[in-house]
Amino acid sequence: MKKSVISLFVCSALAAPAAFSSPISNPEIGVVLDGYYQSGERQLSEREEGFGLGHTEINMSANIDDKFRGSLTTVLESHGDHADLLIEEAFIETTSLPHGLNIKGGRFLSSFGSLNNQHLHEDAFAERPVAYRNYLGGHFYDDGVSASVVLPTDLYIRLGVEALSGQQMSAIDDPSTVGIYSATATFGGDISTASSWQLGFSYLRNDNGRVDSFGDHDHDHDHDHPHRFGHDHDHSHSASVTGKHLYGMDFVWKWAPNGNYKYQNLTVSAEWLRLNDATSRDYKFEHDYPGTLDAFYLSGVYRLSPSWSVGARYSEAEDFDVKMYGHYPYFKRETEREFDLMLAWNSSHFGTIRGQYTRAENQRHDREDNIFTLQYVMSFGAHGAHAF
Amino acid sequence: MLSKWLKPATHNQQSRFAPKTLALLAIFAASYALPSHALNVFVCEPEWGALVRAHAPHANIYAATTSRQDPHYVQARPSLISQMRRADLAVCSGAELEIGWLPMLQARSNNAKVQDGQSGMFYASEYVAMLDTHDHVDRSMGDIHAHGNPHVQFAVKDMPRISTALTARLVDIDPDNARQYQANGIRFRGHWHRQITQWEEVAEPLQGLNVVGYHGTYRYLFDWLGIAQVGDLEPKPGLSPTNAHIHSLAQLGADAVDLIVYSSHQDSRPASWLQQRIDKPVLELPLTVEGDQSLTEMIDIVIGDLLKQTGKQTHLPVQ
């Protein structure tokens, strides 16, 4: 008797949420599968030559209660015979603060730039532009807190600040615990029914980003420049070159006939990044002192039909190499360039097969590479909405 | 809040301009004390804008999409986030129709009022007897929704239930204007019930009509009027029409199909391809309201167009 009462209670408790649940289901669990074959390897890339698995993503997110939302994104990466489980995002955020405020805590993709806080599977190309791979480690996520506000104006204005650990973008052995502070301002609106724009300004201060001395801390690695982390083969997610100040400016423009994105649409995006104080000012009299380094990309993607899209992208990133002659550093400023062409076929909204050709110019190794990639990115389960 | 602003102002200007200032402040205070501001309503599709306007004529209504846009494929663009930020109420079809963009707007808007489960988020499909619900959903079946067909703007019979629920929601959000919302709701439903009788009478010749459609956009309308959708230009929901599929539709034969129908936001070519093979009339129907049209006008147009194109009746009785 008692048992049946309990089971009745349990049943009704389980049935009740279904009856009142909103039409958008909760929690959402989604998996992104990413595999490829490529004929070469791009600089600072996570993808090796030959067959491989890319960014296998498992995402879970749900409202925790009426005040908080939580999201977890793990990434499985396989390198040879072992696999790494990375936590890319694990954060909670508020959903009920007044005045358009939002506070987020945990690990999350930084809001720096326009591409960075989007997941890799949303990209139109197989790799992040070389500008991002050099200065942000492809996609920069970190532990910390962020606060943002969306102003109650017709023009979209979002202001955000972040305080992050900065461990991934540290150039020194004993970094401070809160290494990175960032601020972003994003604006946007519609030009007409058919087209929309977004313009963003970002600033990131990296207290551990500047290299103060060379030669002394050649601790374990076999590379000759201690400020570098993501050298060619360790598939690190850290930035290749860091500095004290990183500035960013980004612009996105999208167009579709009558604003109907289903059949045809065009996305043009560009970002410019500037890195200041990559090394200590003690070296500013040295040859080619890397005081300011610039990087940018410009990309255009056109959807020809619901099934086909084509795209082109050009990206450049300035970097520097340092060689020690006794106590004297010799800097060599270098520029990496990449030009990509992409053709993608969508089996549906959830499956993409992409072919990409990259012409890469690497000054350091004085090489020009032609790389072909054939890749699939497909998802099942819940598929989160994409950002602009 | 108000007293904070009043005190320094009255104090500073006390000496000479006190009466004038006080008068101005009184006007300011009065306008502040009035229902603070017109309700800001964000609608995912224009039909819900028409519904809200019938209930809350003074509301500021912002429609995220137009009749030329496929509501499945909308960009979560900055302008929509800023409109969502200011919304007191968001009205959408729900049943996962907007799943590709609405959750992003809710999250990015930082607006507590329009989150799921709050009174400021209204899904029309929650008040509709849903058709084509599925216990088991697999994407190999195409882009289908477990909760059923989400194109509920044509769920004519359920519109009064949506109106009742919307009225209650408006009253909840803006109790100062409760009477107005209730009166408008009653008026809307009374008018709608009379319309249903009239529509059913006028549309009687459409019963038994066999239609090839494009997506399940008119599922509720066809179900109500006794029209059969015998084929779909899409091989599966959300997938683009293919030549092979059009060919298979042509196999249905000319006798099995009376009419080919597509919607204002869709590519017209697949309908013409089929027309070339089976020589049946093609009709573009509106997806939703245009401009300031009411929901009544939208249904009038759809029924009128169907009657005209099928030659069942050449004129509609004057409304």
What's the complex ipTM?
0.86
Strand partners for B18: none
* Whole-number pLDDT of residue A223: 41
* Whole-number pLDDT of residue B124: 97
Contact A156, A186 (CB under 8 A): yes
Q: Which of A40-44, A244-248, B182-186 has the lowest mean pLDDT?
A: A40-44
| pLDDT exceeds 50 at position A232 | no
What is the amino acid identity at position B82?
S
Q: Which residue has the tokens 């800001």?
A: B40
Q: Measured at the alpha carbon of residue B134, what is the angle toward residues B229 and B65, in degrees to the nearest 5? A: 65
Distance CA A386, CA A118 (A): 8
- pLDDT bin (cut points 50, 70, 90) of residue B170 is very high
Q: Please give the average per-residue pLDDT across B78-82, as a whole number.
A: 97
**CB atoms A348 and B109 under 8 Å:** no
Nearest to A196 among B78, B111, B143 (CB): B78
For A157, the token pair is 């204005």
Percent of chain B as helix, strand, coil, to the nearest 5? 50, 10, 40
Q: Please give the average per-residue pLDDT across A163-168, as a whole number.
A: 90
* Whole-number pLDDT of residue B52: 98
Nearest CA-CA distance, residue A56 and chain B, Å: 19
Q: Where do the H-state alpha helices sit in A136-276?
A: none
For A343, the token pair is 């053709």
Strand partners for A211: A279
Which residues of chain B does A69 touch, with a Cβ-Cβ cutoff of 8 Å?
107
Which residues of chain B does A308 touch, with a Cβ-Cβ cutoff of 8 Å?
none
Closest CA to B168 of B181, B154, B186, B153: B181
A234 vs B93, higher pLDDT = B93
Stretch (H or E) spanning A3 = helix A2-20
| pLDDT exceeds 50 at position B30 | no
> Which of 109-148 (B) contact A at CB < 8 A?
109-112, 115-118, 121, 123, 125-126, 139, 142-143, 146-147
* Whole-number pLDDT of residue A251: 97
Q: Is B107 exposed, middle or buried (0-12, 13-18, 19+ CB in 10 A)?
A: buried
Distance CA A316, CA A297 (A): 6
What is the amino acid identity at position A64?
I
Nearest CA-CA distance, residue A349 and chain B, Å: 8
Closest CA to B88 of B177, B16, B209: B177
- pLDDT bin (cut points 50, 70, 90) of residue B26 is low
Strand partners for B121: B90
- pLDDT bin (cut points 50, 70, 90) of residue A134 is very high
Distance CA B192, CA B300 (A): 12
pLDDT tens per residue across span B1-14: 344 443 433 344 44
**What percentage of chain A reaches a pLDDT higher than 70?**
87
Closest CA to A228 of A207, A214, A247: A214
